């Protein structure tokens, strides 16, 4: 399940923001080194993306959106806070589960709730 925002993969958005931090650590490859989550990892519970996370890292309401390239979401998670109201879904407060990097330049992203839920239904049917 690849997450696209305005036609760009979320991991590429993250790479742009994470690259200065990864370079400072001497490992540019770390920037954006995420893989999409498989819906089977969440028993196809698409409510995970609607503010009811099945997988969280910080246990403060965060939602894991991307996992490690190795296939294990907890190895290198990218999380966000998901706010849902009647008309919109907002992702903000992105964090990496293993680095204290400032990801404030990533997002926030706001989506029409109708379009967002339609995209989720499409994901769940694959």
pLDDT tens digit sequence for 31-77? 999 998 875 566 567 888 999 998 889 989 999 999 988 878 888 99
Looking at residue 17, the DSSP 8-state letter turns out to be H
Cα–Cα distance measured from residue 54 to residue 64, given in angstroms and rounded to the nearest whole number: 8
Q: What is the pLDDT of residue 83?
A: 97
Smallest CA-to-CA distance from 66 within 125, 18, 117 is with: 18
Structure tokens at 105: 């330049």
Residue with tokens 């190895």: 75
Residue 125 above 60 pLDDT? no
Q: What is the helix (H) or strand (E) element at residue 116, kind and residue range? A: helix 113-124
Q: 46 phi and psi, to 5 degrees? A: -75, -10
Q: Structural domain tally of the chain?
A: 1
DSSP summary character for residue 76: S
Give residue 126's pLDDT. Answer: 43
Domain that holds residue 55: 4-124
- By the 8 A CB rule, do 80 and 89 touch? no
pLDDT in tens, 77-102: 999 999 999 999 999 999 999 999 99
């Amino acid at each position: 399940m690849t997450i696209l925002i305005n036609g760009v993969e979320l991991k590429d958005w993250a790479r742009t923001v994470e690259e200065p931090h990864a370079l400072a650590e001497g490992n540019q490859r770390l920037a954006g080194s995420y893989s999409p989550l498989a819906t089977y990892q969440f028993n196809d519970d698409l409510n995970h993306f609607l503010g009811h996370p099945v997988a969280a890292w910080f246990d403060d309401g965060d939602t894991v959106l991307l996992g490690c390239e190795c296939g294990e979401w907890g190895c290198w998670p990218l999380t966000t806070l998901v706010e849902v109201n009647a008309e919109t879904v907002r992702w903000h407060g992105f964090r990496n589960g293993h680095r204290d990097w400032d990801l404030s330049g990533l997002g926030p992203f706001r989506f029409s709730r109708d379009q967002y839920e339609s995209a989720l239904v499409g994901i769940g049917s694959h």
